[in-house]
Amino acid sequence: MKTQVAIIGAGPSGLLLGQLLHKAGIDNVIIERQSPDYVLGRIRAGVLEQGMVDLLREAGVGQRMDREGLVHDGFELAFDGRLERIDLRTLTGGKTVMVYGQTEVTRDLMEARAASGAPCFYEASEVELHELKGENPHVTFLHQGQRMRLDCQQIAGCDGFHGVSRKSIPAGVLSEFERVYPFGWLGVLADTPPVNDELIYANHERGFALCSMRSPTRTRYYVQVGAEEKVEDWSDERFWDELKRRLPEQTAAKLVTGPSIEKSIAPLRSFVVEPMQYGHLFLVGDAAHIVPPTGAKGLNLAASDVSTLYRILLKVHQEGRNDLLEKYSSICLRRIWKAERFSWWMTSMLHRFPDTDAFSQRMQQTELDYYVGSEAGRRTIAENYVGLPYEAVE
């Protein structure tokens, strides 16, 4: 089998890149380890930056998002018993975010892929990348008992943190930068009305909490828990109790509780590899970087990588501009490091660390007080939250 671009992974990065390339007439094949249902069953991100919203529209998959997504003009920071609003629209000259679940983005992209007729091999095993620096880059895999070989010109490694693409790069090529946080987020999805129209990020002496939503009738709430905690130890009742204790009184009083329809613990990590290219292989999204979810940046960073790679591949395949390929990594990394910084800062400012004593707690509260009390501070938070601009490829 032959194609122009082989895409490893059918998460949001792989499917979005595939859709954009297909629309532009660039042949591509997607290879995914899991089944479509498994991919759709993962409950993850929910806040889309303006840049990602625009990219989904450009890919022709924005119709349902525009109908069902919730445009948010701001969010709230809760600390020291106060609720302070960050007015995104006013502070950024009109920019907003869209609340629309990653599951829904993936579903829309899967449907577009199926409608396009472009190939996507689900439940592929033994995926291996070959000749990444050679004349004949190709991918081999096992699909329904059949051994397959896919020859291509470029390989997009969109296979997440645990994928095969990054691991296919020889030892010593990549520099890794990592911070693992000593806590996780316990998340609950429930069919209850949101406690607030906008997201609430709460700093509390018992630990961080987040009130988020997926729709006017479906909520996603989180509380910070110790890294060693087990989800089985958290009954719904214990979760709702803990959440209420971490919210300002007037918010806790309004909270509507109900049975959880999903409950899981996610570890928090910051991670970046440099460079994001090795020969014909380009790492995209979680394959190259992870952020703690505090700044709502993981999925959005994946989208900005896709945008950059797509625009470079367009020029490569339509105008023969192979010189642009080596710019991919540096263009992406400039934006990635800024999002890493924001996510790390939000995490540091809002969570309780094992060494958070009374002094550090006051420092966190004072930092929040300082930022929300200054127009420059609120603007800094707002412009990072809505997403920094995408860099042009030349």
Ligand X SMILES: Cc1cc2nc3c(=O)[nH]c(=O)nc-3n(C[C@H](O)[C@H](O)[C@H](O)COP(=O)(O)OP(=O)(O)OC[C@H]3O[C@@H](n4cnc5c(N)ncnc54)[C@H](O)[C@@H]3O)c2cc1C
Active site residues: 72, 201, 293, 297, 385
Residue 293 makes contact with ligand X by CB under 6 A: yes
Residue 184 binding ligand X, by CB under 6 A: no
Between 39 and 86, whose beta carbon lies closer to ligand X? 39
Q: Which of 6, 10, 268, 324 binds ligand X (CB under 6 A)?
A: 10
Structure tokens at 36: 């479509």
Burial 80-107 (b: 16+ CB within 10 A, else e): beeebebebbebbeebebbbbbbbbbbb
CB count, 10 Å around CB of 230?
Answer: 9
- Comparing CB distances to ligand X, the nearer of 11 and 194 is 11
The reply on whether position 198 binds ligand X by CB under 6 A is: no
Q: Which residues contact 139 (CB under 8 A, 6 or more apart)?
A: 6, 8, 31, 127, 128, 129, 130, 149, 150, 152, 155
Smallest separation, CB 32 to ligand X (Å): 5
> Which C-beta is closer to ligand X: that of 46 or that of 275?
46
Q: State the nearest-atom distance from the C-beta of 94 to ligand X, in Å.
A: 22
CB 385 within 8 A of CB 294: no
* Region of 11-19, 51-59, 268-276, 327-335 interacting with ligand X (CB under 6 A): 11-19
Question: Which of these segments, 33-41, 74-82, 198-206, 225-233, binds ligand X (CB under 6 A)?
Answer: 33-41
Minimum CB distance to ligand X, residue 51 (Å):
13
Candidates 17, 20, 45, 213: give the one binding ligand X (CB under 6 A): 45
Give dist(CA 299, CA 284) in Å, integer: 11
Write each residue from 124 to 163 as x if it is in contact with ligand X (CB under 6 A), else as -, in one continuous string: x--x------------------------------xxx-xx
Closest separation in Å from C-beta 102 to ligand X: 5
SS (HEC) of 177-245: EEEEEEEEEEEEEECCCCCCCCCEEECCCCCCEEEEEEECCEEEEEEEEECCCCHHHCCHHHHHHHHHH
Enumerate the β-bridge partners of residue 6: 29, 155
Distance CA 241, CA 236 (A): 9
Q: Kindly identify the residues of this chain, within the stretch 298-327, that bind ligand X according to CB under 6 A.
A: 298-300, 302
Query: Residue 371 in 3-state DSSP?
Result: helix
Binding site for ligand X (CB under 6 A): 8-14, 31-34, 39, 44-46, 102, 124, 127, 158-160, 162-164, 266, 285-286, 293, 296-300, 302
